[in-house]
Structure 1
Amino acid sequence: LFTSFSLMNLATSMALTSHGYMGNNYMMMMCAMTMLYSMSLWFKDMMAESTYLGDHTLAVKKGLMQGFLLFVVSEMLMFVSLFWAYLHSALNPSVELGMQWPPAGMEAMSAAELPLLNTMMLLASGVTITFAHHALINGNRKNTLYGFLYSTLLMVMFVGCQGLEYKFAPFTISDSVYGSTFFSATGLHGLHMIMLAVMLALC
């Protein structure tokens, strides 16, 4: 219940702040902190239940696996819809876009600069988390912690570079479908990286 109210208040405060109804970000930050606090309590309880309390029976594990699988499928479909919107507009640009992609009068971001660095960091974090996973399977706690640490650092650096990319982008989210699909897809991905970095830091 506490987490639900935190999420609802976070979404409401973000909407009010973005539309200029709130003059500061204090409410949004407070809601984000309460959500992170409730997440940490939830993770602590899950770890306790799954280890020394022994509450995770085979039926519970099966239910958790099915729930996680449905979550992954819903995430995949969300990203598919964003890519669909981008490709639909890119492969068949309308008259309003000037019959070209990127739209007429819009400067595209060079893929060989900051986006390339972000891609390298993302791939490197995939390598380090895979290293941590294999170390965990083999019971090597030290290498698991190193893998988690390097992955978390790479994700934080990725999010920082994503912020720089947004700051210096020659277009905004309101600049036609090009800006809205770019910022929606990359923003959602950046949000996932932030949540994953928080989860790894809590582990």
Structure 2
Amino acid sequence: MSSAAHHGPTDYYIPDSSPWPIVAMLSIFLMLSGTALTINAVGAGVWMVLAGFVLLMVMFYGWFSVVIKENLADRYNEQVDSSFRQGMFWFIASEVFFFLSFFGALYYIRDIALPWLGGEGYLGVTHEILYKQFEAMWPSAGPGQLGGEFKPMGAWGIPALNTLILLTSGATVTWAHWGLKEHNQKKLVRGLAATIALGLIFVGMQAYEYYHAYGELNLTLKSGVYGSTFYMLTGFHGFHVTMGTVMLMVILVRAMKSHFSPHNHFAFEAVAWYWHFVDVVWLGLFVFVYWL
């Protein structure tokens, strides 16, 4: 069923039938199956992962192109806009709980499991049974210095500089939002370009940090529970910054094409919400992973 005309505020736009959900399913199936085959050393697995990734990119481009065209054709009303906002809200909420699970794991390891293994608490008896020489000190590589000795990543230097970079990027994307509300195209474009540049600098600095950690600190994924939690938290955050930067690039192109107006710019707001979420998560990482 199609509803091309723009109706009243209580009507809901019903799009035409779309092949993109099926394409999304096929791309995910290829990537998951390919990953499983790659883990089991089956040669075709890598190609399946690549094919799935390419198909995923085609799906993103095609599906979002349709949504953009529908929006520019004025097919969306306030009710549809409200649905988009609710969807983005719940997506970010799911991301919040995703990171909370890793922060929770870090808390459990540091403040509960580690003291038990060191002989404290009502489960302190495990200290005598498992490893008498184990000392409950953080950061820990586990009993016997699994993975070899390492140096923990300090809070100052690159982590502190990256914190300043992300906080500044939050200010520049807000500046761009002000420009959009003021119908100031130059401020909008410059603010987005500055935010993208800061995001790329952040990712580059984090890549150098990983190089330094592996090469000079011997801090790897094999460095016990400290190494695994460090790379799990910072790595997923770096992935989110990368995806956020790609989304900002798309929004910049759309802004340069004058797709947004002071009263119709949900796509910009959605990406701005996501970027601010990434900023807040990093503040938690800086405090609980680097500093404490």
TM exceeding 0.5: yes
> Does residue 179 of the first structure (1) align with residue 216 of the second (2)?
no
CA apart distance, 1:108: 0.4
Matches within 5 A, 1:22-37: 28-37=49-58
Find the counterpart in structure 2 of residue 139 from structure 1. 183
Identical positions, percent: 31
Separation in 1, partners of 2:108, 2:67: 42
Please give the per-residue CA displacement for 1:47-98, whole angstroms capped at 9, x wherever unaligned. Answer: 211222x221233222222211111111111111111111222223253773
Matches within 5 A, 1:73-92: 73-92=93-112
> Does residue 68 of the first structure (1) align with residue 88 of the second (2)?
yes
Aligned residue type for 1:202:
V
CA apart distance, 1:126: 1.0
**CA spacing shift, 1:119–1:29, aligned 2, 3 Å:** farther
Aligned residue type for 1:50:
N
Find the counterpart in structure 1 of residue 158 from structure 2. 114
Separation in 2, partners of 1:24, 1:125: 38
CA apart distance, 1:30: 4.7
| SS in structure 2 at match of 1:168 | helix
Separation in 2, partners of 1:19, 1:174: 21
Cα RMSD between the aligned structures?
2.5
Q: Which runs of 5+ in 1 are unaligned?
A: none
Which has the larger displacement, 61-70 or 18-27? 18-27
Find the counterpart in structure 2 of residue 157 from structure 1. 201
Q: Judge conservation of contact 1:40–1:202 (CA < 8 Å) in 2.
A: no
**CA spacing shift, 1:8–1:146, aligned 2, 3 Å:** farther
Which has the larger displacement, 68-77 or 32-41? 32-41
Aligned residue type for 2:209:
E
Which has the larger displacement, 95-104 or 147-156? 95-104
Find the counterpart in structure 2 of residue 50 from structure 1. 71
The partner residue of 2:192 within 114, 125, 148 is 148
| SS in structure 1 at match of 2:76 | coil
Please give the per-residue CA displacement for 1:101-127, whole angstroms capped at 9, x wherever unaligned. Answer: 001544201221221222122112111
Find the counterpart in structure 1 of residue 245 from structure 2. 197
Compute the TM-score of the two structures, normalised by the length of structure 2: 0.61
Aligned residue type for 1:103:
S
Find the counterpart in structure 2 of residue 59 from structure 1. 79
**CA spacing shift, 1:58–1:70, aligned 2, 3 Å:** same
Q: Judge conservation of contact 1:10–1:31 (CA < 8 Å) in 2.
A: yes
Q: Which runs of 5+ in 2 are unaligned?
A: 1-21, 118-130, 142-148, 252-292
Separation in 1, partners of 2:168, 2:35: 32
Separation in 2, partners of 1:118, 1:7: 33
| SS in structure 1 at match of 2:136 | coil
Separation in 1, partners of 2:168, 2:157: 17
Find the counterpart in structure 2 of residue 98 from structure 1. 135
Aligned residue type for 2:169:
S
Separation in 2, partners of 1:123, 1:84: 24
| SS in structure 2 at match of 1:133 | helix
Larger Rg: 2
Separation in 2, partners of 1:23, 1:100: 45
CA apart distance, 1:34: 3.2
Separation in 2, partners of 1:167, 1:111: 16
Q: Judge conservation of contact 2:31–2:53 (CA < 8 Å) in 1.
A: yes
Count of aligned positions: 202
